[in-house]
Structure 1
Amino acid sequence: MTPSSLDTASHPKPLFEVHIEQDVRIEMTDGVGLYADLYRPRGAGERLPTILIRTPYSKAPYRSVNNAEMKRAVAHMFGGQGFNVVVQDVRGLFRSEGTFHVAADEAKDGYDTVDWIASQPWSNGKVGGYGCSALGISQVVMATRQPPALKAILPQAAGGAMRNRPGDILVSGVPEIGWALEWFRNYGNRRSQVPEKINYHEFLQSLPLSDMNERSGGSPNDWPDWVTREPDDQWWHQINCFDESSRPNVPALFVDSWYNVSVNETLDLFNAFEKQSTTEQARRNQYVIISPTGHCQSELTETPFIVGERDVGDIRLDYWSIYLRWFDHWLRDGDGDIEMPRIQYYLMGANCWKSADSWPLPETRFVPYYLSSGGNANTSNGDGTLSTAMASGPADRYHYDPTDPTPSAESIRGRGDGSAADQRDVDLRPDRLVYTTEPLRSGVEVTGPLRAVLYVSSSARDTDFIVMLSDVYPDGRVFNLQKGVARARYREAYIAKARHLEDYRDPSLLTPGKIYRIEVNMEATGNWFGPGHRIRVQVASSCFPHYARNLNTGGNNATETATAVAENTLYHDYHYPSHIILPIVP
Structure 2
Amino acid sequence: MNAMNREAAPYDVMIARSVKCVARDGVKLSVDIYRPARNGEPLPGPFPAVVTRSPYDTRSGKGPSGQAKNGEYFARRGYIYAVQDSRGRFDSEGDFVLLDQKEGEDGHDVIEWLATLPYCNGMIGTQGSSLRAWNQTATAINRPPHLKAMWVNQGGSNAFMHALRHHGTLELRWLAWLVTNSIHSQEAHADPALQAQLVRNSENMYEWFRRLPWSEGNSPLSPLPKWEKLALEYYRNADFSDYWVNPTLNPEAYRDQTADVPTVYSGAWYDTYPRATIKNFTDLEGRLSHQYLLMAPGVHGGPNLDNPLVGNVDMGPTAPIKGNLAKDRMELMLRFFDRFLKADESAWVDQPKVSYFHMGGNGSKNAAGRLVHGGEWRSSEQWPPLGGVPEDWYLHSDGSLSSTLPDASEPSRFTFDPSKPMPTVASNVSSMTQNLPPFPRMMRTGDPITLRESLVLQGAGDQVTHKGVHGAEAPYGDLSDRPDVLAFTTRPFAEDTDVVGGPEVEVYLSSDAPDTDIFVQLQDVYPESEAWPDGYRMNLCESIFRVRYRDGFEKPTLMKEGEVVKVRFELYPTSNVFKAGHRLRVLVSSSSFPRFDVNPNTGEAIGYHTHMRKALNAIHHDPQHPSRVILPIMRRG
Q: TM-score range by the shorter chain?
A: 0.7 to 0.9
Tell me the amino acid that sits aligned with residue 171 of structure 1. H
In the alignment, is residue 243 of structure 1 matched against residue 246 of structure 2? no
What SS does the corresponding residue of 1:141 show, helix, strand or coil? helix
Q: TM-score, normalised by structure 2?
A: 0.81
Tell me the amino acid that sits aligned with residue 296 of structure 2. S
2:609: which partner in 1? 560
Q: 1:345 to 1:300 in 2, by over 3 A?
A: closer
CA deviation vs aligned residue, 1:130-169 (integer Å, no higher than 9, x gap): 00000011111111121111000001001x2325447x21
CA deviation vs aligned residue, 1:287-336 (integer Å, no higher than 9, x gap): 1111111111554544xx23111221111222222111110111111779
In the alignment, is residue 22 of structure 1 matched against residue 17 of structure 2? yes
Identical-residue share of aligned pairs (%): 30
Q: 1:573 to 1:192 in 2, by over 3 A?
A: farther
Aligned equivalents of 2:485, 2:68: Cα separation in 1: 41
Tell me the amino acid that sits aligned with residue 173 of structure 1. G
Alignment of 1:71-110 (within 5 A): 73-104=69-100, 105-110=102-107
What SS does the corresponding residue of 1:60 show, helix, strand or coil? coil
Contact 2:179–2:220, Cα closer than 8 Å, also in 1: no
1:201: which partner in 2? 206
Aligned equivalents of 1:68, 1:251: Cα separation in 2: 25
Alignment of 1:186-335 (within 5 A): 186-187=180-181, 190-191=185-186, 193=188, 195-196=198-199, 197-210=202-215, 214-215=219-220, 219=224, 220-221=226-227, 222-238=230-246, 240=248, 241-246=250-255, 247-248=257-258, 249-277=260-288, 282=289, 285-297=290-302, 299-302=304-307, 305-314=308-317, 315-317=319-321, 318=326, 319-333=329-343
Aligned equivalents of 1:390, 1:234: Cα separation in 2: 42
1:388: which partner in 2? 403
Aligned equivalents of 1:150, 1:92: Cα separation in 2: 24
Aligned equivalents of 1:452, 1:67: Cα separation in 2: 38
Contact 2:125–2:341, Cα closer than 8 Å, also in 1: yes
Aligned equivalents of 1:192, 1:537: Cα separation in 2: 47
Report the alpha carbon displacement of residue 210 of structure 1 after superposing the two structures with TM: 4.2
Report the alpha carbon displacement of residue 244 of structure 1 after superposing the two structures with TM: 4.7
Tell me the amino acid that sits aligned with residue 601 of structure 2. N
2:448: which partner in 1? none
Contact 1:102–1:239, Cα closer than 8 Å, also in 2: no
Q: 1:111 to 1:549 in 2, by over 3 A?
A: same
1:365: which partner in 2? 389
Unaligned runs of 5+ in 1: 1-10, 375-383, 494-503
Alignment of 1:458-497 (within 5 A): 458-475=511-528, 476-493=535-552
Deviates more, 1:195-204 or 1:557-566: 195-204
Select 2:135's aligned residue among 135, 138, 153: 138
Aligned equivalents of 2:149, 2:569: Cα separation in 1: 34
Report the alpha carbon displacement of residue 83 of structure 1 after superposing the two structures with TM: 0.5
Report the alpha carbon displacement of residue 453 of structure 1 after superposing the two structures with TM: 0.3
Aligned equivalents of 1:298, 1:452: Cα separation in 2: 33
Select 2:563's aligned residue among 505, 514, 522: 514
1:501: which partner in 2? none
Report the alpha carbon displacement of residue 239 of structure 1 after superposing the two structures with TM: 5.4
Aligned equivalents of 2:277, 2:634: Cα separation in 1: 20
1:39: which partner in 2? 34
CA deviation vs aligned residue, 1:421-464 (integer Å, no higher than 9, x gap): 21133221010000111111111111101210000001001110
1:402: which partner in 2? 418
Aligned equivalents of 2:344, 2:264: Cα separation in 1: 15
Tell me the amino acid that sits aligned with residue 268 of structure 2. S
1:419: which partner in 2? 459
1:176: which partner in 2? 171
Aligned equivalents of 1:233, 1:583: Cα separation in 2: 32
Contact 1:21–1:39, Cα closer than 8 Å, also in 2: yes
Q: 1:581 to 1:30 in 2, by over 3 A?
A: same
CA deviation vs aligned residue, 1:192-241 (integer Å, no higher than 9, x gap): 74631413223311132445973466634121111112332333334522
2:354: which partner in 1? 343
Unaligned runs of 5+ in 2: 1-5, 189-194, 362-374, 433-452, 465-476, 529-534
Contact 1:244–1:276, Cα closer than 8 Å, also in 2: no
Aligned equivalents of 1:414, 1:532: Cα separation in 2: 34
Contact 2:21–2:113, Cα closer than 8 Å, also in 1: yes
CA deviation vs aligned residue, 1:471-494 (integer Å, no higher than 9, x gap): 10113110111111111110012x
What SS does the corresponding residue of 1:118 show, helix, strand or coil? helix
Contact 2:296–2:305, Cα closer than 8 Å, also in 1: no
Tell me the amino acid that sits aligned with residue 312 of structure 1. M
1:49: which partner in 2? 48
Aligned equivalents of 1:70, 1:258: Cα separation in 2: 24
Alignment of 1:426-437 (within 5 A): 426-437=479-490
Report the alpha carbon displacement of residue 391 of structure 1 after superposing the two structures with TM: 1.9
Aligned equivalents of 1:137, 1:212: Cα separation in 2: 30
Aligned equivalents of 2:285, 2:626: Cα separation in 1: 36
Contact 2:59–2:67, Cα closer than 8 Å, also in 1: no
Deviates more, 1:179-188 or 1:576-585: 179-188
Aligned equivalents of 2:8, 2:536: Cα separation in 1: 42
Aligned equivalents of 2:331, 2:563: Cα separation in 1: 57
Contact 1:36–1:89, Cα closer than 8 Å, also in 2: yes
CA RMSD after TM alignment: 2.4
CA deviation vs aligned residue, 1:244-285 (integer Å, no higher than 9, x gap): 5423211101110000122012111001122333xxxx2xx1
Deviates more, 1:336-345 or 1:117-126: 336-345
Aligned equivalents of 1:56, 1:69: Cα separation in 2: 9
Q: 1:417 to 1:128 in 2, by over 3 A?
A: same
Q: 1:68 to 1:513 in 2, by over 3 A?
A: closer
Aligned equivalents of 2:65, 2:105: Cα separation in 1: 29
Aligned equivalents of 2:358, 2:187: Cα separation in 1: 40
Contact 1:257–1:298, Cα closer than 8 Å, also in 2: no
1:544: which partner in 2? 593
Aligned equivalents of 2:456, 2:349: Cα separation in 1: 37
What SS does the corresponding residue of 1:184 show, helix, strand or coil? helix
Q: 1:67 to 1:468 in 2, by over 3 A?
A: closer
Contact 1:103–1:239, Cα closer than 8 Å, also in 2: no
Tell me the amino acid that sits aligned with residue 53 of structure 1. T
Tell me the amino acid that sits aligned with residue 48 of structure 1. F
Q: 1:71 to 1:371 in 2, by over 3 A?
A: farther
Aligned equivalents of 2:270, 2:573: Cα separation in 1: 9
Tell me the amino acid that sits aligned with residue 37 of structure 2. R
Aligned equivalents of 1:423, 1:145: Cα separation in 2: 43
Q: TM-score, normalised by structure 1?
A: 0.88
